[in-house]
Structure 1
Amino acid sequence: MRGLTSAVFLATFFVYVECDNWQEWWTYDGISGPAYWGLMNPQWNMCSRGRRQSPVNVEPDKLLFDPYLRHIHIDKQKVSGMLHNTGQSLVFRVDKDTKQHVNISGGPLAYRYQFEEIYIHYGMENQQGSEHHIQGYSFTAEIQFYGFNKDLYHNMSEALHKSQGIVAISLMVQVGDTPNGELRLITTVFNKVTYKGASTPVKHISLRAMLPDTEHFMTYEGSTTHPGCWETTVWIILNKPIYITKHELYQLRKLMQGSADAPKAPLGNNARPVQPLHQRTIRTNINFKNAEVNNCPSMHKEMYYKANKWPQNIKDHNPFHSLHSFPIG
């Protein structure tokens, strides 16, 4: 009887959501969480049925070196936009009337992509927060740049449903004493987007300046990590973190899912669980053999790579203080 009651409740909930604005109802936990995204809206069925889903766990010893991967190019132009607390995530969107667009090309991309959005995923504890994992470990946060294929499509909405439509660049974020100067343009206005529905302008931000100092990356074919999980996304995961200070992280963790009258839970812990890789290959431009010979920073398992393996008695230990790329250990 108890199981039947739960089933009826779920059915009633999803019928209600479908009749209402379902974009407002999905969350990262409970009966509207990731396990149910594919049931909430027929257009989101890839969230439960797709086999090329994101995020994934990157296993360094299974990466495939691809000598044909080029360097990634991101235009120098600065853009302005609005930072939104959507109730699910913190999202920056470029102003619609922007005339100086930022193009992304190179790397695994056969086309030019126009930058449109930044998504910020983070945890309420330092040991979790990123959507992508490295060797089973999670970073404090993950910043994702989304762009659409401007050579083939007119806008993000169209490209989401089309082959090679979207690019997503992933920056892992680690706690450190040296903050990212460009990221500060966003972190300084966190207090203006405390509650769901709040927005604030962010002016003259440079994506290129926010990137870590690395030419190395990993790439695979995947999906958006929010509904409807469209499998049209080329992912690029950079092989070096950027840094956020403890104070900035404290301000970020004060953001809430609800309104000022009903703040609900904190906005954090807004990461979709890692998805099965199935038969996909994750490629990289890191040449492990050259790295061994020249002792260059790499992802070789004996040199680097344990993201956030925190000592139990030192929560704020920074495993990256002397590293030039993700530690692998």
Structure 2
Amino acid sequence: MPSIVTMLPSILVVGIFFQTIIPAFSTVSWEDWWTYDGISGPAFWGLINPEWSLCNKGRRQSPVNLDPEKLLYDPNLTELQVDSHRVNGMVCNTGHSVMFHLENGTKNHINITGGPLSYKYQVYEIHMHYGQQDEMGSEHSINGYSFPAELQIFCFNSQLFTNYSEAMQRSHGIVVISLLVQLGDLSNPELRILTDHLDRIKYSGQETPVRLLSVFDLLPATRYYMTYDGSTTFPACHETVTWLILNKPIYITKQQVNTEVSNPFRRYRYNIKTC
């Protein structure tokens, strides 16, 4: 009898506990309930939501480690063409990442053509990825080497699709230009424009305007790139992405990195899906 008296209150407490947390979870969107570590990290994305099954079962998942000795040179590929005019937008803290969104309704779209692309692609947003340590912040790696950070310029096929969301789910829908970021004595001026705003977006949901950013000048001075067909590196891991990884990095100073590390935003510590 004493054992029964001991167990019943425990069962009641557990029941009350689950009744309390289930309604709380039911109000959370799948778009928010994922992270880059633990039981809500990349290894579990495909289990959290059945619609994200590609994250675990896909055959063309990104990122990847690129081995220069295994790359095939294609002499028929041309240079990338990127519009050079400047644009306005917003830098925002999504809770998962730092992003630059081009201004809504702008008529001065930045178009990407050439290279392996058969269509015209329109720049939509820029994702910033970083790690817990200065040397391990990029999602893609070269011969096993990870860079301090990686910028990813997301573009959608504006000839076949009316918007980014539609293109994300369709073949040939998305192009991402990957910029690997290395430490240096001088910083890329356009990258500095973005990082100078981080102290204004310390908390999830905050955003601040950025004026006159040149995506063209954000790119390193190179004609060469590596390309492969892969996926987004966030749920739902759609395998609709043509990746273009430029073969030279852009640079960030140690001071900028230290500023980012000390920024309260960095309490998230890292936002990379590893190879």
Query: With structure 2 as the length reference, what TM-score do the two structures score?
Result: 0.89
* CA–CA separation in structure 2 for the residues paired with 1:196 and 1:215: 37
Of residues 109, 125, 138, the one that matches 1:117 is: 125
1:246 is displaced (CA, Å) by 1.3
- Equivalent in the alignment of 2:181: 173
- Equivalent in the alignment of 2:271: 270
* CA–CA separation in structure 2 for the residues paired with 1:222 and 1:46: 11
- Equivalent in the alignment of 2:10: none
- Equivalent in the alignment of 1:106: 114
Amino acid at match of 1:228: A
1:217-268 Cα shifts (integer Å, max 9, x gaps): 00000001111110000000000011001121122223446xxxxxxx7233
- Equivalent in the alignment of 1:148: 156
1:24 is displaced (CA, Å) by 1.4
In the alignment, is residue 130 of structure 1 matched against residue 159 of structure 2? no
CA contact (8 A) 2:134 2:257 kept: no
Unaligned 5+ runs, structure 1 = 1-12, 258-264, 275-329
CA contact (8 A) 1:194 1:254 kept: no
* CA–CA separation in structure 1 for the residues paired with 2:96 and 2:215: 23
Point out the more displaced range, 187-196 or 55-64.
187-196
Amino acid at match of 2:176: A
Of residues 20, 27, 34, the one that matches 2:42 is: 34
In the alignment, is residue 194 of structure 1 matched against residue 202 of structure 2? yes
Identity of aligned residues (%): 50
Query: With structure 1 as the length reference, what TM-score do the two structures score?
Result: 0.75
Q: 1:193 to 1:61 in 2, by over 3 A?
A: same
Q: Which of the two has greater helix per residue?
A: 2
Q: Matched residue of 2:189: which SS? A: coil
Amino acid at match of 2:247: N
* CA–CA separation in structure 2 for the residues paired with 1:15 and 1:126: 40
* CA–CA separation in structure 1 for the residues paired with 2:117 and 2:25: 37
Q: How many residue pairs are counted as aligned between the two chains?
A: 256
CA contact (8 A) 1:220 1:235 kept: yes
CA contact (8 A) 2:151 2:180 kept: yes
CA contact (8 A) 1:18 1:41 kept: no
Q: 1:78 to 1:202 in 2, by over 3 A?
A: same
CA RMSD between the two structures: 1.8
The structure with more radius of gyration? 2
* CA–CA separation in structure 2 for the residues paired with 1:18 and 1:159: 29
Unaligned 5+ runs, structure 2 = 1-20
1:69-115 Cα shifts (integer Å, max 9, x gaps): 11001101211111111111111111112110000111111100000
Amino acid at match of 1:268: R
